[in-house]
Amino acid sequence: MFSRALQSSTRRAVLRPARVAPGMVLRRLLSDDIRQKLDTAVHAHPLVLFMKGEPAAPQCGFSRAVVQILDIHGVPESKMQTYDVLQDQQLRESIKEFSQWPTIPQLYVNGEFVGGCDIVLEMHQNGKLEELLEKNNIIEPVAAEAAAPSSA
């Protein structure tokens, strides 16, 4: 059928990676409109979570873990906005590009990207998440008297 030369040259052409200049990143660019909408969304509430599902019914274990951590810290619903990326494929892909973070969930505090489940969990474990939430007035600081043992 096809000559060996044609088959092998075709195979090389298919398998050969594109050459890219050093330091150049290949990625899809968000339109200005989508970038502006995402920027507005992450700044609209003190805490914004892009997740799979809803807080009452997360659709993946990582989203569930972040919701549970936020519940432990007592984040009020009035200061939190969640977006279900499973309802909008464009949102699901665009938020990954916007944050330059490849996974969902994604947590933002006052417009700043915090991270995904692994980072939120680590911050919860080392106390940095509570500090961040208090510093940004999302949760009330724990009173110093409540933390100190009472002297009776």
Q: What is the pLDDT of residues 66-77, one digit of tens each?
A: 999 999 999 999
The token pair at 130 is 């509570």
Helix axes 32-43 and 89-99, enclosed angle (nearest 10): 80
- b or e along 26-64 (b: 16 or more beta carbons within 10 Å of the residue's beta carbon)? eeeebeeebeeebeebbeebbbbbbbbbebeebebebbb
Residue 16 forms part of a structural domain: no
Helix H or strand E segment including 12:
helix 4-15
Residue 150 forms part of a structural domain: no
Residue 85 forms part of a structural domain: yes
Minimal CA–CA distance to 48: which of 121, 115, 141? 115
pLDDT at 30: 87
Domain that holds residue 113: 31-140
Residue matched to tokens 């969990």? 121
pLDDT exceeds cutoff 90 at 147: no
Residue 146 forms part of a structural domain: no
pLDDT at 10: 41
Q: What is the pLDDT of residues 107-120, one digit of tens each?
A: 999 999 999 999 99
Q: What is the pLDDT of residues 16-73, one digit of tens each?
A: 444 555 655 545 688 999 999 999 999 999 999 999 999 999 999 999 999 999 999 9
How far from 142 is each of 47, 124, 129, CA to CA, in Å?
Answer: 19, 15, 13
Provide long-range contacts, Cβ within 8 A and 24+ apart, for 145-152. none
Residue 12 forms part of a structural domain: no
Question: In whole angstroms, what is the distance from residue 70 CA to residue 80 CA?
Answer: 10
The CATH number that applies at residue 126 is 3.40.30.10
Residue 15 forms part of a structural domain: no
Residue 87 forms part of a structural domain: yes
Q: What is the pLDDT of residues 80-101, one digit of tens each?
A: 999 999 999 999 999 999 999 9
Radius of gyration of the chain (CA): 22
Q: Read off the DSSP letter of residue 29.
A: P
Domain count, the chain: 1
Residue 57 forms part of a structural domain: yes
pLDDT at 103: 96
pLDDT band for position 149 (50/70/90)?
low
